């Protein structure tokens, strides 16, 4: 197994584009772009750019890529990255352009890259610098660490960000982007590990090491301690596996924390999900190694929160286990009792993520959380509703859900609010317990969220269903096939913006 991600050195420059020295100069280009701020570019390409545009090979459509040599410029080649209409340009497109440019360079075995912030886009230089830094770090990820026959991986080593102006704020923005990219890659690394190497015990050990390195306080509770807390939902899911469950607890306690709020993050950590007795079909079951993507996102986010000294106190809870169909596994019809004392009739053992999150959310409340966000690859129903590009948001009150949505917009993690009307609770009615663990196919993503809501008390709470967004099935110019690291940057942005929601 080789290294799966690397962080290049990232610097700032305000030199004119022709004077930026690199192997590949990445330039965002809009539809009908006259390239007026890049005088001489077409001439430097020997007319290749003009000819490619004239024949329709490159029109500036979103994430079209054209790479061509240039002469008379310090860069060896330029990569034009299509951005679509200028009027629709947004920060996330610049982040994706940086990723696409970085991937294009790595595919061509180039190690030195420069990225240009085009003038006239309306983006503040600090936000642009952060987004570009995130992008190039995200591009430095390899999703095939176990291949032994491929050529050695080429990493970006030096990156120059060509932005307007120079200031300490720009340098801080680059550092923030670098950290967010690194911590997203840490989560992607964990999600990509096969279930035989990332067992619950190994996940807990790696979480302890990552948390310690980031300056977090960390505690890992074993099965005995979990039993003492009477976490019957987590213990129930774990019964079918020979691997015991673990509960990872992380704390960020800054010296000058905002008075009052404590952000509670809870992540689903099922390191492999067979479905249990309600076993999944064999096809695509291999993807269930990433059923701990929510836990990995929370871990990566907490590392970023600590490294960036977010001003709000945070506590994270990651229950981790396997869901296996062993002889002691829970069966449909079994009754489990949660740590809070509520009883659950298990109708489908494949609806296990909400079970362990129920105990996890309850424990976050016991640890003092005042605002909750849980993250989970929870339901196929959310994929049906929103596809593979958008995370489902559920919760209450609307103002808290909106805070999380805004953080996801800044982070480039597209999300969309979904309803949690009380009418849907009828679907979770049980004849012999407080409620069931599934309400059937209709409204499946909503009833999954409402199950978790039962354990949130009266706290502001948002549930992020990342079942469709945690793994990219198809490669795109800005996203290779594999783990995406979704929600890491959202949660970190939320904590960094604690001043705006601390009194909600």
> Which residues does the annotation mark as catalytic?
280, 354
3-state secondary structure of 158: strand
Q: Using alpha carbons, list the distances in angstroms from residue 365 to 176, 358, 453, 461.
A: 29, 11, 12, 11
Chain center to CA of 208: 20
- By the 10 Å C-beta count (0-12 exposed, 13-18 middle, 19+ buried), 333 is classed as exposed
3-state secondary structure of 294: helix
C-alpha dihedral over 19, 98, 141, 182, to 10 degrees? Answer: 90
CA distance 291 to 273: 7
Angle at 26 between CA 135 and CA 29, to 5 degrees: 100
3-state secondary structure of 376: strand
Q: 248 near 218, Cβ under 8 Å?
A: yes
- By the 10 Å C-beta count (0-12 exposed, 13-18 middle, 19+ buried), 406 is classed as middle
> For the chain, how big is the Rg over CA atoms in Å?
24
Query: Looking at residue 288, what DSSP letter applies?
Result: G
Q: 97 near 139, Cβ under 8 Å?
A: no
Angle at 46 between CA 40 and CA 52, to 5 degrees: 95
Q: 153 near 142, Cβ under 8 Å?
A: yes
- Give, for 336, the enclosing helix (H) or strand (E): strand 335-337
């Amino acid at each position: 197994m080789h290294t799966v991600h690397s962080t290049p050195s990232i610097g700032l420059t305000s030199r004119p584009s022709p004077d930026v020295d690199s192997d590949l100069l990445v330039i965002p280009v809009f539809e009908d772009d006259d390239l007026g701020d890049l005088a001489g570019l077409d001439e430097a390409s020997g007319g290749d750019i003009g000819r490619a545009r004239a024949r329709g090979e490159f029109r500036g459509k979103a994430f079209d890529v054209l790479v061509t040599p240039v002469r008379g410029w310090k860069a060896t080649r330029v990569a034009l990255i299509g951005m679509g209409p200028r009027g629709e340009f947004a920060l996330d497109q610049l982040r994706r352009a940086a990723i696409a440019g970085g991937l294009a360079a790595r595919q061509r075995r180039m190690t030195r890259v420069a990225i240009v912030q085009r003038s006239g886009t309306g983006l503040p230089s600090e936000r642009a610098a952060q987004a570009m830094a995130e992008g190039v770090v995200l591009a430095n990820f390899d999703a095939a660490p176990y291949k032994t026959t491929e050529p050695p991986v080429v990493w970006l080593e030096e990156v120059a960000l060509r932005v307007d102006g120079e200031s300490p704020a720009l340098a801080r923005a680059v550092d923030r982007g670098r950290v967010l990219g690194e911590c997203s890659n840490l989560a992607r690394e964990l999600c990509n590990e096969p279930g035989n190497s990332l067992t619950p015990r190994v996940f807990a050990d790696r979480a302890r090491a990552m948390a310690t390195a980031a300056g977090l306080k960390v505690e890992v509770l074993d099965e005995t301690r979990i039993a003492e807390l009477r976490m019957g939902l987590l213990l129930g899911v774990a019964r079918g596996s020979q691997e015991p469950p673990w509960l990872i607890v992380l704390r960020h306690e800054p010296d000058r924390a905002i008075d009052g709020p404590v952000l509670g993050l809870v992540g689903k950590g099922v390191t492999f999900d067979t479905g249990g007795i309600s076993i999944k079909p064999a096809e695509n079951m291999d993807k269930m190694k990433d059923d701990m993507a929510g836990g990995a996102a929370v871990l990566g986010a907490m590392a970023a929160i600590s490294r960036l000294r977010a001003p709000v106190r945070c506590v994270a809870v990651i229950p981790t286990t396997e869901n296996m169909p062993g002889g002691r596994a829970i069966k449909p019809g079994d009754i489990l009792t949660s740590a809070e004392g509520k009883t659950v009739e298990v109708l489908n053992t494949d609806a296990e993520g909400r079970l362990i999150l129920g105990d996890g959310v309850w424990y976050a409340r016991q640890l003092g959380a005042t605002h909750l966000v849980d993250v989970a690859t929870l339901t196929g129903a959310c994929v049906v509703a929103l596809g593979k590009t958008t995370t489902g948001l559920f919760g209450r009150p609307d103002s808290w859900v909106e805070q999380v949505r805004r953080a996801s917009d800044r982070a480039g993690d597209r999300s969309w609010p979904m309803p949690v009307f009380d009418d849907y609770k009828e679907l979770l009615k049980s004849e012999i317990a407080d409620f069931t663990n599934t309400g059937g196919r209709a409204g499946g993503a909503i009833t999954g969220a409402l199950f978790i809501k039962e354990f949130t008390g009266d706290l502001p709470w948002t549930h992020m269903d990342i079942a469709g967004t945690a793994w990219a099935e198809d490669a795109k110019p800005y996203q290779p096939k594999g783990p995406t690291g979704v929600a890491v940057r959202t949660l970190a942005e939320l904590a960094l913006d604690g001043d705006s929601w601390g009194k909600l």
